Structure formats: C-alpha cells, structure tokens
Amino acid sequence: MYQSLNFGLANVKETDFEKKLILAKKYGFTAVEAGGQEIIDNGAEKINALLEQYGMKISSSGLPFHPISVDDETFENGLKTVAEHAAAIEAVGCDRCIIWIFPASDERNKEENYAFHVKRLSAVAAILKEHGIRLGLEFIGPYTGRKGKKYVFMYTAEEMLGLAKDCGDNVGLLFDAYHWYTGAHNKDVFDHIPDESCLVSVHVNDAPVGDPLELPDSPRALPGETGMIDMACMMAGLRKLGYTGPVIAEPFSPKLAAMETDDEKVACIKACIDKIWG
C-alpha cells in the first residue's frame, strides 16, 4: 500500500495542478487524488507530462455525481458524465473511483433500497469497467447518521462487501477507519474480507474522545491524534490482506483547518500518516 493525498480533505487552498503536485512531492507523497473534471480542464496530455516530471500518479477519483440521491432523468444524464470522467481518468492511468453509501432512508425499506442500489450502482460500475476502473463503496458508520431515519440500510464493512459483490466484479470496498470505529468496530473485520482485491481504497483518521454512538460524521481527528481508533489493528489487518492500494487521510479536523498555510497542512498530514504507518 502507498500514501496518497487528497487536497480537498487536506484543506489545501492551492488550485493549480502543478503546484499541488510540487507540494505533495515536497512532503513525500507519491500519489494524489484528482477529479475527472480537473483532468478534463487541464487536458490528459498536460496531466501525464506533469505526473512523469514529478514522479507522481493519480491514485483515485470521486464519481462526478451521487447515483443514489437523484431522480431517474438526472441519473441517466449522470451516466453520460460518468463515461466522460472515466475516459479522462483512464487516460492518466487512474483505475479507481469511490462513492459513499447513505446508511439509512426514509423512502425505502432495506430490501427495496438494496435492489435500488444494485440497479443504479451496477449501471455505473459497468461504465467504469469499460475503462478498466474499479468502484469503491464507502460504508458510513456513525449512529447519528441513522438515528431518526425510518429504515436502516447498511453501515458495516461486511454488509457493504455483499452489496459490492452484487454490483459487479469491479466493485469493492472503501474502508474508512472512522466509519469502522463508529459502526461495528469489530477487531476481526479483516478476517471477513476474502482478499485484498475486495478493497479499492482506504481512509485513515482518528476520533474525538467520547462515546462512539454519539459522534457525528464530522468533525474527526487527525490519524493517530487521540488514540481512540486502534490504527495498529487496522494497519496490521491491511498488511495481512496484502493490500496494495492507496491510503488517504480524511480527518475533517478543526486543527488542520485552522492552519494558515498549505505547507503546514500537508506536512501535518504526512507526519500523522507516518505515525500510524509503522
């Protein structure tokens, strides 16, 4: 596995792609996340030249829209955008896309929602597969995200893997430390993941001190900051599976947001990831 940087999650203000690459490389990252639109706007030829110049790669990209939260017409139009973005990220060597899955619903019971997700996500996955791209589904763990909703859907790694399997052979899991901690928090979770091919991406972070059942989705803490999440267990589990994909910090951290410069933010994130890496 390798460390990748998401500039948005790092609260980086710089928008120029080359300058962002220089910043990431300066602090020891070998990969970055980038959106399909950013690649389209810059042009694949320019992006590839910069990646080669700085010895970097694009690890993964988000989907251009959320396929579950839109009406049928918007969804059909969105599929065209997915195809455009998939072609763009394929052209720069990126082979992973990610999306989060809502943990509850007021409109559909679990069975109906499952069928709806399979229908929509399978269509997206089929387009991505034409471009050699895998889709990672992120489960959302916090109880506060399901509390008060009429129907609980799914919020654990094991359930999300089942959904991924039914959506296509290029669909897997985005495993997030915070969602694992606030959801099932089962230390044997990696025993339930068949092999590393089931994992598309990984997010690392930490949790504020407090009852996990009362924690919202945000704010969180920097990786290794509070020690509430057993990152040693998680990293050991990833290594046991032989995971070879990207690891990205998603801290939603007030401490990080308060830093004045992009350099401070990226240096902080790199130091935090290095802290849990061993």
For residue 171, list its beta bridge partners. 135
Q: What is the pLDDT of residues 175-195, one digit of tens each?
A: 999 999 999 989 999 999 999
For residue 245, list its beta bridge partners. none
pLDDT band at 153 (very low <50, low <70, confident <90, very high): very high
Q: Which residue has the higher pLDDT, 222 or 185?
A: 222
Question: What local confidence, expressed as pLDDT, does residue 275 receive?
Answer: 96
Question: What local confidence, expressed as pLDDT, does residue 244 receive?
Answer: 98
- 206, pLDDT greater than 90: yes
Q: What b/e readout covers 234-264, taking b as 16+ CB neighbours within 10 angstroms? A: bbebbeebebebbbbbbbbbeebeebeebee
pLDDT band at 41 (very low <50, low <70, confident <90, very high): very high
Average pLDDT over the chain reads: 97
Question: What local confidence, expressed as pLDDT, does residue 278 receive?
Answer: 85
- 13, pLDDT greater than 90: yes
Mean pLDDT for the stretch of residues 108-135 = 98
Q: Are 269 and 3 in contact (CB under 8 A)?
A: no
What pTM, to 2 d.p., does this model score? 0.97
Q: What is the pLDDT of residues 258-277, one digit of tens each?
A: 999 999 999 999 999 999 99
Helices 157-167 and 110-130 cross at an angle (nearest 10°) of 60
Mean pLDDT for the stretch of residues 79-102 = 98
Full set of structural domains in the chain with CATH:
2-277 (3.20.20.150)
